Structure 1
Amino acid sequence: MTIRHIVFDIGKVLIHYDPELPYRRIIPDAERRTWFLANVCTSDWNLEQDRGRPWDDAEAELIAAHPDWETEIRAFRAHWHEMVPHAYDGTVSILLGLIEEGRDITFLTNFAADTFVEAQELYPFLKAGRGVTVSGRVRVIKPDPAIYDLHTRTFDLDPEATLFIDDNADNVDAARAFGWNAVRFENAEALQADLQRFDLRLD
């Protein structure tokens, strides 16, 4: 089956994401910072914003449990833009090259709805392509099969003719189980080789 649709993840594929970056300044002590991110503003806590939970509710929950950390908890959203400091130029070049060739490009991302709007302003290439499914808007996250189904129906994709690019192995496996082709992103050079395997060669 010829690939006709290419679906890009965003975080750690097109733009860098590291929640520790602002906290190196906010909590200078490395041991306290590591504890905070492992026990207070955790990945699981942040994932619920990707699932659609409002930030006010998320902050209130943590502040009630950890009142001594209120300032640091509120800093997560306030300094979120520092967590996405740069794009991956090599991958962005591939993305834009595919769009210039006329390929059908969409995005599928686990992202809070409001921070995604900020990301699009910081990185206008996220407005390129045919459209995007943002987990925080639709209130379902990868690797739930429902989000692949929703994206397929929203953009009228043929699963067998769809190639998905994501850095997370669970998300890649779920996409394959749903019926898409999928590759795990490592770097731009490896992605270029993966695209060639699917006969998607960039000039």
Structure 2
Amino acid sequence: MAIEAVVFDIGNVLIRWQPELYYDALIGEARRRQMFSEVDLHAMNERIDAGDDFRETVYGCAEAHPDWAGEIRHWHDNWVHLASPAIEGSVALLRALRTRGVPVFFLSNIGEGPLAQGQEIHPFLAEYDRAYISGAMKAVKPYPEIYAMVEADCGLAPEALLFADDRADNIATAAGRGWQTHLFETPEGWQDCLLSHGLLAEPVITRA
């Protein structure tokens, strides 16, 4: 079946999502390792992904861990730098697809607050035909519910969706539902996939 929409994850596909690197630059690797061992910041973020209020969740975690309060608040106050930089090759592919009239969807584990902050400095995060955001949907990858919600909303057959994500578990659930998938590693590899499906007329990323 021909592809009728291309579905992008956001973190590590369109923008780098490695908070540890931000904190390494902020406080040094040794202190960052200590903080992450004492505070489960990824669990905090999963609550935001699932729909909890962004500022309230981060600031509540800071209050619960006063030794790290200032550093934890960066997760909210400087999120646009925490989730940075843009992966320019992927952005170019997104825009090339939309120029060709190919519908582009987002399917991402991200809170509504972080996405709104990101859109302030990354215009491409508002360049989509449909956005399926876990924080708004109150459902997260890799659980099947969120994929079923996408299918029901867009009305397309699973086989007509081509999904790129950097996590194998997220890809596995989509593939199990019949979606066509690509495990994202580099923009160049994603471009090769899009070209193989005839979704691009020519390469838009120049290989070094």
Query: Aligned-pair RMSD on alpha carbons?
Result: 1.8
Contact 2:58–2:73 under 8 Å retained in 1: no
Q: TM-score, normalised by structure 2?
A: 0.88
% identical aligned pairs: 35
Structure 1 residue 192, shift from structure 2 partner: 1.5
| Aligned counterparts, 1:130-169, within 5 A | 130-169=129-168
Structure 2: distance between partners of 1:157 and 1:165: 17
Structure 1 residue 31, shift from structure 2 partner: 1.8
Per the alignment, residue 74 of structure 1 pairs with 73
| Aligned counterparts, 1:117-196, within 5 A | 117-196=116-195
Structure 2: distance between partners of 1:96 and 1:26: 33
Per the alignment, residue 101 of structure 2 pairs with 102
Contact 1:98–1:202 under 8 Å retained in 2: no
Structure 1 residue 61, shift from structure 2 partner: 4.5
Structure 1 residue 41, shift from structure 2 partner: 4.3
Contact 1:63–1:73 under 8 Å retained in 2: no
C-alpha change, 1:39 and 1:202, in structure 2 (3 Å) is farther
Higher mean C-alpha deviation, range 18-27 or range 123-132: 18-27
Structure 2: distance between partners of 1:92 and 1:188: 9
Runs of 4+ in 1 over 3 A off after TM superposition: none
Structure 1 residue 58, shift from structure 2 partner: 4.6
For structure 1, list consecutive stretches of 5 or more residues without a partner in the other structure. none
For structure 2, list consecutive stretches of 5 or more residues without a partner in the other structure. 203-208
C-alpha change, 1:132 and 1:21, in structure 2 (3 Å) is same
User: Residue 201 in 1 paired to residue 185 in 2?
Assistant: no
Structure 1: distance between partners of 2:74 and 2:26: 8
Q: TM-score, normalised by structure 1?
A: 0.90
- The residue type equivalent to 1:67 in the other structure is P
Aligned length: 201
Contact 1:49–1:111 under 8 Å retained in 2: yes
C-alpha change, 1:119 and 1:40, in structure 2 (3 Å) is same
Structure 2: distance between partners of 1:167 and 1:25: 24
